[in-house]
Structure 1
Amino acid sequence: MIIRSLGAAVVLAGSVIAGGATALPAGAAPGEGLAGDLKSDLDAILKDSRLKGAKVGVVVRDAQSGRVLYDRNGGGKVMPASNNKLPTSAAAFGILGAGYRFRTTVSTKGGNLYLKGTGDTTMRASDYDRLAASVAGKGVKEVRGDLVADDTWFDADRVPDGWDPADLQYAYAAQTSALTVSPNADFDAGSIDVTVAATRPGRPVRVGLRPATGVVKIDNRATTGAAGSPSTLAVKRRNGSNTIRITGRHPAGAPKASVLRTVAGPTRYAADVFRRALKAHGVRVAGRTERGRTPAGAETIATRTSMPLSQLAKPFMKLSNNVMAETLVKAIGRKVRGKGTWAAGLPAVTAYAGRLGVDTSQVAMTDGSGLARSNRTTAMQLSTLLRNAREQAWFPAWYASLPVAGKPDRLVGGTLAKRMKGTAAEGNVHAKTGTLTGVTALSGYVEDPDGRTLIFSTVFNGYSGSAPKDIEDEIAVRLAGGSPVLRRTTPTTDDDGDGDGLEPTWRRSR
């Protein structure tokens, strides 16, 4: 077959009061009913000197009744970091549905080949290869027109307001597009894996790109150092450019280094990967690769659908994937208002949180992931959302997406895989982490020794020194029935224990 060109190219349980708190029964005191003196224990934990002068929000509630058992400034507005993904993911389940799938199609009309995406962050080079094989399998040997990349399901804004320009070369701050490609099984969409291998001392290092693409250029200024010398590699992409400069030295005999960097213009990147796949399967495209819209009446010849949201939620939440969060916000906007924009999606997320009992006057969302420092919420509102989410039909799948303390499998433990091991919280605490410079958060569920489910939310802003995640852990362990205070022989400073204060998908590779 030759494609010829025809022309120019809820129902809420419990009584919720203003601010999201649930009214205490007459005569009940916060902390009453838990073994020991909860207030004294948590107050002691929170006396840590690193929290002096910090904004501290801590709320503990009984999940069944909603009764507040402990409240330390639970109504104070704080930056939530990745706890912002709690309302984003809840709204995705509630609005899009647990069975929601992203769809990527290849169509033909007028001699052109159209690649159309709807925001699938799980598309890898192998998936584009399968699409290309399907096209070839239909007998297509030549496309005499253009390859048109259709990303119009979303708008062309790539980065939310409030993101720091200094972050934009790193995988945790990749651009959002309806057409994108992921370099790995963590689905770091919109990024590329830059590999650096040593050669002989004094010679240039060898650099590779995965997946292969001509959209990204390499400026290799790095050399191979003496065996046993330290690696001083620096891998940088300047904003607005797709040239990645590599400087420094990498020692002879050292393992290959691998660094993720974002790609400016993920649509063009995805289209290039697909075009290469077409060529590999014997399909020649005579025309250019350009962005455009799939015309009405185009014939669909290949389709790829993603895993359902119920499965996608695990890499999203457990690995705290920012690009997935922003993509879901735009997908929600498309569903609710017919516009794949943050302006359409974020109000819909906030409104859905309101349906879960959240006092939305206490919430400001400027992105879906929590990377923007202009997001605001309170520990009480997070606890309200966590409590009332339990009444929803989608709750089991959502709960399963939360990181589980001390479980080493990355798609079980996620950002809690190395935390609270050997304590009463291991395998018990299911909670969402959050990390930004000067911000740490942990909110979720824990079962106490009596089998009662407790909801907790801890958010710290403006503390001194490294992220006090050990304090979060002490609180969670106390709620699980463990010792009120953990021994701090090896303090946990971040979500994956590497000491950089960032969640695994937010790590800046140097």
Structure 2
Amino acid sequence: MRARLVCLLALIALVFGAAPVVAQDRGGLTADLDTILSAAGLEGADLGLVVRTVDGQTVYRRDADRRQQPASNLKLVTSAAALDVLGPDYRFATTVHTTGRRHGPVQDGDLYLRGTGDPTMLAADYDALAKKVADTGVRVVTGRLYADDTWFDDVRLGTGWAWDDEPYYYNAQVSALTAAPDTDYDAGSIIIRVAPGANGKAVVTTDPPTDYVTIANTAVTGAAGSPNTISVDRVHGANRFTVTGSIPAGGTPTNEWMAVWEPTGYAAALFRAALGRYGVRVLGSTARAAVPATNTEVADRQSMPLRELLVPFLKLSNNLHAEILVKAMGRAAKGAGTWSAGLAAVASRLPAYGIDPARLSLEDGSGLSRMDQISPDQLASLLGAARSRPWFPEWYEALPIAGRTDRMVGGTLRSRMRGTAAEGRVHAKTGSLTGVSSLSGYVTTTNGQLWVFSMVTNDAIGVNVKTLEDAVAIRLAQEGSAARTTTGAPDLTGETSELECSWVKAC
């Protein structure tokens, strides 16, 4: 009878894609996790952990119902909701329109650049749009160049974001018209490059090149082998970047990703410069306005679909992707590209994941806000329910994968858990803020079971909680192995991190 039951369970598992669940003694696992979580230095910290089988059975649980700041683990909620509300095939559109009459090469009217939030727009994409305009034969636009960013509102920064993070790219401003300097798609930012120069000066350039920003450079070139003390900052309320310090002669250039002030103007400046390169002159100045009802569309660019955007979004924990998706959801569901409309759309999807939206707090989509509150239990519920969604396989693969060294595979876990039982077996979202660390996702155990887990720690001071998270994930991955090792409570005295490693380009 028992053999037939096991066979039946195995058949069900094959059909529904899960390992058979049989009653088993997990006392050893419980004892090991208790030991790991007894690590010194956690006194006063608020730590919650839950582990479940994919069918919802609790494997381990400690204070998992306590709401905490999730940091970037909130992107699990945002991405799942976006796939539901917008769909995996959703694309952002950037278009160019004209008004007035055309007389040969002269457009007697205005030119409009209209965006819907595409975070993947590069300088090269604005160049391609400009070429399309030039290919129509127009050479002079008698009116103005208008930037239409009305698809979203003009609230640029989220509630509860730290003011001192404002100049940095991971805290960039949100606009329906924006630009990224790289294929990480860091929307709303620019790269400031500082290199050794002649005559004791440092050389500063920007990528992409643009006159939208100005540089106040007092940096110098020091002696070969001297310390690199380069510092880059941005003047509040302006696009004036200050570069100070010293870079050693013959040293590697320093690259700093910085947020621009007002990305709509940034995008328009890149587009105007590209028009000039193709021989198209706009006689009027640049301004902001919506495209009139009567217009002619002359160029367009469609982004990659959301299913592909998930990779840089989740692997690299891109904050601006999360916030742009929130406003895009607001526009799609409520007709308003605002945080409030977008977060209402997110909340409306939560009951389907077993989450009561009245029992959490959502203030943004990225987890940057210190006002976000969610529990490990709620995150685990989302992870468990997500497996029934048709988009789950792509979402699962878009999560960082422990120990996989390729940056667009391992993501923020590429340097963690290498050479352990967890390597390749943990697909999970990381999260980091000062005093906050989180890791939530899936682990495939050695005996082939897929479990969901969520670990969130707040109020940690002077300890490396990432080491603790890794120890938990490794022990979960070892379940079912006769060769598992119990090393006791981990040493948490290593270097701590206040930011996601990808936000400082360290992974």
TM-score (norm 2): 0.90
CA distance in structure 2 between the partners assigned to 1:492 and 1:91 by the alignment: 36
CA distance in structure 1 between the partners assigned to 2:334 and 2:299 by the alignment: 28
CA distance in structure 1 between the partners assigned to 2:363 and 2:94 by the alignment: 28
Q: Which residue of 2 aligns with 1:446?
A: 443
**SS across alignment from 1:79:** coil
Q: Deviations over 1:312-345 (max 9, x none)?
A: 0110011000000000000000011100000101
- Aligned residue among 418, 425, 434 for 1:437: 434
What one-letter code is carried by the residue in structure 2 that aligns with 1:177? S
Q: Which residue of 1 aligns with 2:31?
A: 40
Aligned residues: 472
> Does the CA contact (< 8 Å) of 2:467 and 2:492 recur in 1?
no
User: Is 1:101–2:91 an aligned residue pair?
Assistant: yes
Q: Which residue of 1 aligns with 2:186?
A: 188
Q: Which moved more, 1:331-340 or 1:442-451?
A: 442-451
Q: Deviations over 1:286-325 (max 9, x none)?
A: 1111111001121111110000000001100110000000
1:129 CA drift (Å): 0.7
Q: Which residue of 1 aligns with 2:485?
A: 483
Q: Deviations over 1:158-177 (max 9, x none)?
A: 00110011000011100000
Q: 1:487 to 1:40 in 2, by over 3 A?
A: closer
Q: 1:34 to 1:195 in 2, by over 3 A?
A: farther
Q: Which moved more, 1:405-414 or 1:392-401?
A: 392-401
Q: Which residue of 2 aligns with 1:425?
A: 422
Q: Which residue of 1 aligns with 2:132?
A: 134
**SS across alignment from 1:49:** coil
**SS across alignment from 2:308:** helix
Q: 1:353 to 1:483 in 2, by over 3 A?
A: farther
1:36 CA drift (Å): 5.5
Q: Which residue of 2 aligns with 1:149?
A: 147
Q: Deviations over 1:396-450 (max 9, x none)?
A: 1211210000001111100000000011110110000000000000000011122
Is there any run of 5+ residues in structure 2 with no aligned partner, and where? 1-21, 101-108, 479-483
**SS across alignment from 2:134:** helix
1:489 CA drift (Å): 8.3
User: Is 1:467–2:457 an aligned residue pair?
Assistant: no
Q: 1:451 to 1:195 in 2, by over 3 A?
A: same
What one-letter code is carried by the residue in structure 2 that aligns with 1:54? A
1:184-223 equivalence runs, <5 A: 184-200=182-198, 203-223=200-220
Q: Which residue of 1 aligns with 2:233?
A: 236
1:197 CA drift (Å): 1.2
User: Is 1:60–2:51 an aligned residue pair?
Assistant: yes
- Aligned residue among 249, 253, 258 for 2:255: 258
If each structure's helix is expressed as a fraction of its own residues, which one has the higher value? Answer: 2
What one-letter code is carried by the residue in structure 1 that aligns with 2:167? Q
> Does the CA contact (< 8 Å) of 1:475 and 1:484 recur in 2?
no
CA distance in structure 1 between the partners assigned to 2:47 and 2:74 by the alignment: 17
1:4-43 equivalence runs, <5 A: 33=24, 37-43=28-34
Q: Which residue of 2 aligns with 1:506?
A: 503
> Does the CA contact (< 8 Å) of 1:195 and 1:257 recur in 2?
yes
> Does the CA contact (< 8 Å) of 1:440 and 1:467 recur in 2?
no
> Does the CA contact (< 8 Å) of 2:38 and 2:489 recur in 1?
no
CA distance in structure 1 between the partners assigned to 2:489 and 2:414 by the alignment: 19
Q: Deviations over 1:360-383 (max 9, x none)?
A: 232101110001111100000000
1:459 CA drift (Å): 0.5
CA distance in structure 2 between the partners assigned to 1:334 and 1:227 by the alignment: 54
Q: Deviations over 1:246-298 (max 9, x none)?
A: 11111111121111111000000000001101111111111111111001121
Q: Which moved more, 1:325-334 or 1:469-478?
A: 469-478
What one-letter code is carried by the residue in structure 2 that aligns with 1:176? V
What one-letter code is carried by the residue in structure 2 that aligns with 1:44? T
What one-letter code is carried by the residue in structure 2 that aligns with 1:164? A
Percent identity, please.
49
1:394 CA drift (Å): 1.4
Q: Which residue of 2 aligns with 1:113?
A: 111
- Aligned residue among 336, 356, 362 for 1:359: 356
Q: Which moved more, 1:31-40 or 1:337-346?
A: 31-40
CA distance in structure 2 between the partners assigned to 1:506 and 1:387 by the alignment: 28
Q: Which residue of 1 aligns with 2:295?
A: 298
CA distance in structure 2 between the partners assigned to 1:49 and 1:466 by the alignment: 9
> Does the CA contact (< 8 Å) of 1:117 and 1:178 recur in 2?
yes
CA distance in structure 2 between the partners assigned to 1:408 and 1:466 by the alignment: 25
1:140 CA drift (Å): 1.4
